[in-house]
Amino acid sequence: MPTTVIRNCAWIVAYDPSRKSQAYLRDADVAFRDDRIIHVGRGYAGATDTTISGKHLMVMPGLVDLHAHPSLEPHYRGIREEHGVREMGMAGLYERSVVFWPDKEGQLAAAEAAYSDLLLSGVTTLADLSGAYEGWVELMAKSGLRSYIAPGFASSRWHLDNRHELKFKWDVEAGKRHFERALKMIDEIGKHPSGRLTGMIFPAQIETCTPELLRDAVSEGRRRKLPISTHASQAVAEFHEITRRHGATPVQFAQSIGLLGPDITLAHCIFIDDHPWVHWRPSRDVAILADTGTTVAHCPTPFARYGAALQDFGRYFRAGVNMGVGTDTVPHNMIEEMRLAVILGKVMAGDVHGTVLDQVFHAATLGGARALLREDIGKLAVGAKADLVLVDLEEPTMIPARDPLRGMVFHAAERAVRDVYVDGRQVVKDRKVLTLDRAGALERLKDAQVRMMREAPSRDWLKRTADEVAPLTLPTL
């Protein structure tokens, strides 16, 4: 098994076991053999097959993207950025998901483009929450990512026949069948020869699943020792729907049916009891999340576009909630997502120190690893997986690199990511993805978006064109 050494690194983001968090290490070496890290520290003296100069590098652990929809969201470039429905609590989620839906060819193109973008922004582990489609597993394996494949299932689908009321088309038996199919797919994924693919249990949304289906999902996930994720408290309409049905907030309802715990990730968790947009009392949701060890997958971009935000990241973190970071939508860029998380955390707290980069970087690495029930990713430590990102300190927007994490997150973003390794295998070299055809995928995505937009009137309750649902920024002369 060949050994690679990155020698005399200017900076290393190393794991500090005494604090169980990340710390800087200067002028030291990182060595890995096969898929494992064998040395983090000064003066590596073991056998070496390949040596990389770390003189102008920061080496950091690969990022853990805890929540993304790669097969869907790239279709929405130019469509979703300012699309929202005021009568639906500003969210465009329900209208968009009904009106715009890609075909199978488009899903493959979108996923390949998104996986490429994620790798280029330093993601090495991805939770891909999607509807199952042909070719998904094969493409994920080809990408080189460490992947949690989460085929979604639900008891109902969203339905609209006006602009202010969210309705549901229920088919409980179909939901059970889709659940069984998802379990079968997950069991097969676990046998994949790459060793990088794992299943995740994914009941799609807390409001589209019956309590029985949610309980069954938790039971099967725990029997298989797999992580479980669902969307909860992601929209004002969802919050009011759950309180109407159950007289409890989505978080409190989840607690009542056993849908909380260290193996559970709730995506978004923005509209909780004390959020000013809903103002439900008494305020117990943050404490419940912390006490149960439940993870929140924080994805600030889609909500900021609606004018909403978590209130606030630092508060959840200090309360003891395990926080992760996800990209959710386009751009699939984890570094930009971290930047927005830090800035919005400060804004929502009204405090420059209310949220700090150390907290968000922890969430994007160790917090995500914890949510996925892993102790061997999200960190550079002996015995951990060789998932590494090499950051170029000579990238102009990184200079001067007085504090390289701040330089990368607040200034350079993915421009500074030079090389990426997953399981010791190089997947990005000199800012180019080695495993996928990004350019070809984007060409196919262009055609897929045209096909999707063409179908919009047949799916919309008002029979509007795509341009009527999501107008262009400027009028056309």
> Each residue's pLDDT tens digit in the chain (477 positions)?
899 999 999 999 999 999 999 999 999 999 999 999 999 999 999 999 999 999 999 999 999 999 999 999 999 999 999 999 999 999 999 999 999 999 999 999 999 999 999 999 999 999 999 999 999 999 999 999 999 999 999 999 999 999 999 999 999 999 999 999 999 999 999 999 999 999 999 999 999 999 999 999 999 999 999 999 999 999 999 999 999 999 999 999 999 999 999 999 999 999 999 999 999 989 999 999 999 999 999 999 999 999 999 999 999 999 999 999 999 999 999 999 999 999 999 999 999 999 999 999 999 999 999 999 999 999 999 999 999 999 999 999 999 999 999 999 999 999 999 999 999 999 999 999 999 999 999 999 999 999 999 999 999 999 999 999 999 999 999
Residue indicated by tokens 């050994």:
3
CATH 3.20.20.140 residue window(s) in the chain = 63-371
Q: Could you give the CA distance from residue 198 to residue 75 in angstroms, rounded to a whole number?
A: 26
Question: Residues of 357-374 as b/e, b for ≥16 C-beta within 10 angstroms?
Answer: bebbbbbbbbbbbbbbeb
C-alpha closest to that of 128 among 68, 185, 76: 68
Burial label, 406 (beta-carbon count in 10 A; 0-12, 13-18, 19+): middle
Question: Residues of 86-111 as b/e, b for ≥16 C-beta within 10 angstroms?
Answer: eebbbbbbbbbebbbbbeebbbbbbb
CATH placement of domain 63-371? 3.20.20.140
Question: Residues of 435-454 as b/e, b for ≥16 C-beta within 10 angstroms?
Answer: bbebeebbebbeebbeebbe
User: 65 phi and psi, to 5 degrees?
Assistant: -90, 110
Question: Residues of 240-255 as b/e, b for ≥16 C-beta within 10 angstroms?
Answer: bbbbeeeeebbbbbbb
Return the structure tokens found at 33. Answer: 């053999």
CATH superfamily of 3-61+381-430: Urease, subunit C, domain 1 (2.30.40.10)
CATH 2.30.40.10 residue window(s) in the chain = 3-61+381-430
Q: Could you give the CA distance from residue 424 to residue 14 in angstroms, rounded to a whole number?
A: 17
With beta carbons less than 8 A apart as the criterion, state whether 62 and 384 touch.
Answer: no
Q: Could you give the CA distance from residue 202 to residue 97 in angstroms, rounded to a whole number?
A: 18
Vertex 102, ends 216 and 107: CA angle to 5°?
Answer: 75
The set of residues, in sequence order, having a beta carbon less than 8 Å from that of 435 and lying 6+ positions away, is: 119, 142, 143, 144, 427
Torsion of CA 208, 213, 218, 222, to 10 degrees: -140
Q: 296 pairs with which residues across the strands?
A: 266, 323
